[in-house]
Amino acid sequence: MEIKDKITIKTDFSDKLGARYRTDGDFSGQQFLEDLLLPKFEKAVEEKYLLLIDLDGVWGYPSSFTSGSFGKLSLEKGADLVLKHLTFKSEENAIRLEEIVNEIKDPKKHEHRK
């Protein structure tokens, strides 16, 4: 599949990521999922292309942000579908990329509050 869209988290969202829920403060995983990631992901699935997620330029990825966005997407849509339509880029931190992919592959490993 071809990459036809991109999210650069630093410029499209924020370089300082928050916690899991909107109620936890600005730039939460829930806000990223609902406002940016989910709409672009659903379009990629519908139109059968890859969505590139650029992880670079961000101060860090709190585990609550990662599970509240990528983990929740995986729980809702299924890991196979998510990994079929998302691809990631990180020239700064290969471990960060690996942690996010692992969150998608095994989101139940991390506790998700309701």
pLDDT, tens only, 26-37: 999 999 999 999
Q: Has residue 111 got a pLDDT over 70?
A: no
pLDDT at 113: 47
Which positions ≥6 away from 16 have C-beta within 8 Å?
A: 27, 58, 59
Average pLDDT value for residue range 50-54 = 98
Model pTM score: 0.93
pLDDT in tens, 9-28: 999 999 999 999 999 999 99
